[in-house]
Amino acid sequence: MTIRNWFIFFFKALMIGGIVTGVLGLIIRWEDAFAPYLSNGEYGEFLAAFMWMVIVGFTMSVVSQMGFFAYLTVHQFGVNIFKSLRLWNWVQLLIIAIVIFDLVVFRFMPSAETNNQLFLYLGLLVFLLATALIVAYFKAKWTNNQAFISALFFMIVVTTLEWLPVLMVRENNIDSWVALLLFPILAVNAYQLLKLPKYNAKSEVDRINLEKRRKARADAAKA
């Protein structure tokens, strides 16, 4: 990928993370983070709280982008180590099952103090899995069928790893953060997974055009 296309790719992913977190933050954290400022007429504080949500979204976007490029390296290592994409896919499916089991048994169940909390966590897990399946379907449809398992692995396992720090926090309002921060991670990861081929293709076209311009300038200089 060329520097120009990488910058566009990075900036759009950054905006997705910020916008998703800002908008959903207004909904999910309205009562404790926004409503008091609005009711007291503190509009500057209200705007500052919204911008803070956007900055948090920027941060989650950067984390997601780091995770994405790390996964590209891990994926290549996995294919090389197991000498077969099919065998690597089976390993990825096993890891997916372990991660889901770990989330339910060792994260959600011990953390949930009430049935409502447990239902919230399980609902978020269902949303994560549904989103992963949809994204993996389109990834396979737009590229090739062999990409389905790898896309599913990235959307479930890597998203969970990026989500894990907030799951380990123990605070009074942690449920709202657990719910809120899942969405920008999923949005940015889905964008990266589905749009990377487009920017790679654009980069290849840019390199070909650059080489043509260089050749034309060289020919003109010789003439």
Domain ranges of the chain: 3-222
Per-residue pLDDT reduced to its tens digit, 49-70: 999 999 999 999 999 999 999 9
Which positions ≥6 away from 104 have C-beta within 8 Å? Answer: 122, 125
* Distance from chain centroid for Cα 91: 22
pLDDT at 221 over 90: no
CB count within 10 Å of CB 143 equals 16
Contact 108, 99 (CB under 8 A): no
| Whole-number pLDDT of residue 4 | 86
List the one residue out of 124, 21, 2, 102 whose CA is nearest residue 64. Answer: 21
Model confidence at 130, in pLDDT bands (50, 70, 90)?
very high
What mean pLDDT value characterizes the chain? 90
How far is Cα 135 from Cα 118, in angstroms, rounded to an integer?
26
pLDDT at 170 over 80: no
Mean pLDDT of 162-167: 89
Question: pTM for the full model?
Answer: 0.90
